[in-house]
Amino acid sequence: MNKIQLCDKYKCTQCMACINVCPKKCIELIDTGEGFYIPQIDEKICVECSACIKACHRLSPIVDYQTPLKTLACWTKNDTDRRRSSSGGAFSVLARKVLSENGVVFGATMDTNLQVKHISIDNTDDIVKLQGSKYVQSYLGDTYKQVREFLRQERLVLFTGTPCQIGGLLTFLRKKYNNLITCDMVCHGVPSQRAFDVFCEKTNIKNTCQGVSFRFTAGWGFQLAREVESPIQSENPTSTHLTRKVVNPRDAWYMRAFNKGLMFNESCFSCAYTTPQRVSDFTMADYWGLGAETPFDYPTFRGVSMLLVNNLKAMDFINECPDLFYEERSLEEAIKGNHNLSHNSERLVGRDSFIQDMQVMEPRALVVKYGIKESLRDYLRLLKQWINSKRV
Ligand SMILES: Cc1cc2nc3c(=O)[nH]c(=O)nc-3n(C[C@H](O)[C@H](O)[C@H](O)COP(=O)(O)OP(=O)(O)OC[C@H]3O[C@@H](n4cnc5c(N)ncnc54)[C@H](O)[C@@H]3O)c2cc1C
Ligand code: SF4
Ligand code: SF4
Ligand code: SF4
């Protein structure tokens, strides 16, 4: 029997570091039956070199847990960026700074087939591809190898993603690079691409749009919207642009299942990164709970990011970002407002059956069974966001 044992479904985050380092290319990912994957080694080819074990952040982590130096409530001064972002657009500020130094930015995008994956960009026109949260596990492929290549070429690299994707990268690299900046997020957990595909199929979203926005708001909050190509009413009638059409809350049960935690990856329930000590240079999030105890004197309806500045490298970097408006707050406030900064999402009793049921059940029966039917509050929230959009 092969002595090499990689992660089981309770640990594996699908970072793909093991696959990327294996000299024999004898690891493949197999489906756990839930739309998530675990590695399987072809024992006939494996030479038991242990490279995969050493590259795995769940088995041999090479990460430093750092106590944040500063907690910022912040937003970008660029109005277009702020509108396109989920919270205050902290990500876009970091990305613009790196791109202005001829750097490369990695992050998650959604392609026109509604598949979420990591890509790199090297010009500011493409920032929009990475903006906005996609509440689907992002496919990494050979991204870590690409990062290493850019670092070796001495390009400045900003890598953004879930904390486990950063932990995976740092352990894969095994070496500290001054030209690497990492930014993770406070992370609730990830649903699989398959869960999202099923949702799109069942709600007729697939093939009726070019993208899906999970946070379509002129105000701050959650709202699912289809991105549809439509003709611009202008001098050039052949040109097109994307307009966003809000999905009726009745059909937007994916967001409610996500927020409730009904379809997370098994490994999210033992996540190693839901602590106030952070493995990345920066951590971004929505600033929930802002001003709950100590007043915050600015309007927040356009979205506010929480940005943790986790080390001196990040401090130096942020001091050179004039596009960022910020006020320093306390880490305690941020932790109080965002439970995934201090503990894992709870594993609900109905999680396993929901993942199976969502594939076969009719949506109305599904939402009733799992208590995620739309409520009056969903419609009122929509109304509030529409009112806020008129204030912007
Ligand atoms: C799966 C997931 C869970 C989250 N959970 C929480 C939470 O519990 N609490 C909280 O406050 N905030 C959470 N966030 C973060 C929040 O939604 C915003 O991303 C954050 O506030 C940054 O917003 P922004 O306005 O600065 O940038 P935006 O422009 O909104 O964010 C873009 C950034 O998010 C990254 N990103 C988007 N989708 C993904 C993805 N699927 N996988 C990896 N990276 C992605 C992009 O690479 C880019 O760096 C979560 C985000 C994701 C993707
Ligand atoms: S031990 Fe070496 S050869 Fe075997 S799967 Fe791991 S990396 Fe590949
Ligand atoms: S390296 Fe990543 S994909 Fe491989 S077993 Fe570990 S967590 Fe899973
Ligand atoms: S909760 Fe943890 S394991 Fe799950 S996606 Fe987020 S960082 Fe990764």
pLDDT at 220: 65
Tens digits of per-residue pLDDT, 378-387?
Answer: 888 888 777 7
- Name the closest-CA residue to atom 24, ligand 1: 89
Domain limits at 9? 1-60
Q: Are residues 308 and 364 in the same domain?
A: yes
Q: Are residues 226 and 352 in the same domain?
A: yes
pLDDT at 308: 98
For the chain, how many structural domains are there in total?
2
- Provide, rounded to the nearest whole percent, the portion of the chain with pLDDT above 90: 81
Tens digits of per-residue pLDDT, 345-373?
Answer: 999 999 999 999 999 999 999 999 999 99
Tens digits of per-residue pLDDT, 197-235?
Answer: 999 999 988 888 888 888 765 566 677 888 777 654 444
- How many residues comprise the chain? 392
> What does 318-348 look like in DSSP terms, one character per residue?
HTT-TTEEEEEE-HHHHHHH-GGGTSPPP--
pLDDT at 392: 57
Tens digits of per-residue pLDDT, 68-89?
Answer: 999 999 999 999 999 889 899 9
Q: Are residues 51 and 70 in the same domain?
A: no
Mutate which of 84, 133, 135, 280 for ligand 1 pocket (most atoms within 8 A of beta carbon): 133
Tens digits of per-residue pLDDT, 138-196?
Answer: 999 999 999 999 999 999 999 999 999 999 999 999 999 999 999 999 999 999 999 99
Among 10, 39, 60, the domain boundary falls at: 60
Identify the CA nearest to 156 among candidates 109, 96, 68, 110.
96
pLDDT at 62: 97
Among 32, 60, 88, the domain boundary falls at: 60
Tally of CB atoms within 10 A around 267: 22
pLDDT at 238: 43
Q: Are residues 172 and 310 in the same domain?
A: yes
Among 60, 78, 93, the domain boundary falls at: 60
pTM above 0.75, yes or no: yes
Burial class (CB in 10 A: 0-12, 13-18, 19+), 137: buried
Q: Are residues 276 and 202 in the same domain?
A: yes
Over the chain, what is the mean pLDDT? 93
Strands 104-110, 157-160: parallel, antiparallel or unpaired by DSSP? Answer: parallel
Q: Find out whether the beta carbon of 169 lies less than 6 Å from any atom of ligand 3.
A: no
Q: Find out whether the beta carbon of 168 lies less than 6 Å from any atom of ligand 3.
A: yes
Distance, in Å, from the CA atom of 15 to the CA atom of 58, rounded to the nearest integer, reads 10
pLDDT at 208: 81
Q: In this structure, what CATH number is given to the domain that contains residue 36?
A: 3.30.70.3270
Q: Are residues 70 and 127 in the same domain?
A: yes
Tens digits of per-residue pLDDT, 241-270?
Answer: 667 788 888 999 999 999 999 999 999 999
Angle of CA points 231, 237, 242, to nearest 5°: 20
Distance, in Å, from the CA atom of 308 to the CA atom of 183, rounded to the nearest integer, reads 9
More confident residue, 52 or 224: 52
Q: Are residues 23 and 86 in the same domain?
A: no
Q: Are residues 77 and 185 in the same domain?
A: yes
Q: Find out whether the beta carbon of 12 lies less than 6 Å from any atom of ligand 3.
A: yes
Distance, in Å, from the CA atom of 287 to the CA atom of 335, rounded to the nearest integer, reads 10
Q: Which atom of ligand 4 is nearest to the CA of 167?
A: 7
More confident residue, 202 or 240: 202
Is a pLDDT exceeding 50 seen at residue 299? yes
Burial class (CB in 10 A: 0-12, 13-18, 19+), 124: middle
Confidence of residue 239 (pLDDT cuts 50, 70, 90): very low
Mutate which of 14, 22, 62 for ligand 3 pocket (most atoms within 8 A of beta carbon): 14
Distance, in Å, from the CA atom of 106 to the CA atom of 169, rounded to the nearest integer, reads 12
Q: Are residues 166 and 245 in the same domain?
A: yes
pLDDT at 221: 66
- Provide, rounded to the nearest whole percent, the portion of the chain with pLDDT above 70: 94
Q: Are residues 54 and 68 in the same domain?
A: no
Ligand with an atom nearest the CA of residue 6: 3
Q: Are residues 113 and 230 in the same domain?
A: yes
Q: Are residues 196 and 262 in the same domain?
A: yes
Over its C-alpha atoms, the chain yields an Rg (Å, rounded) of: 21
DSSP state of 17: H
pLDDT at 219: 60
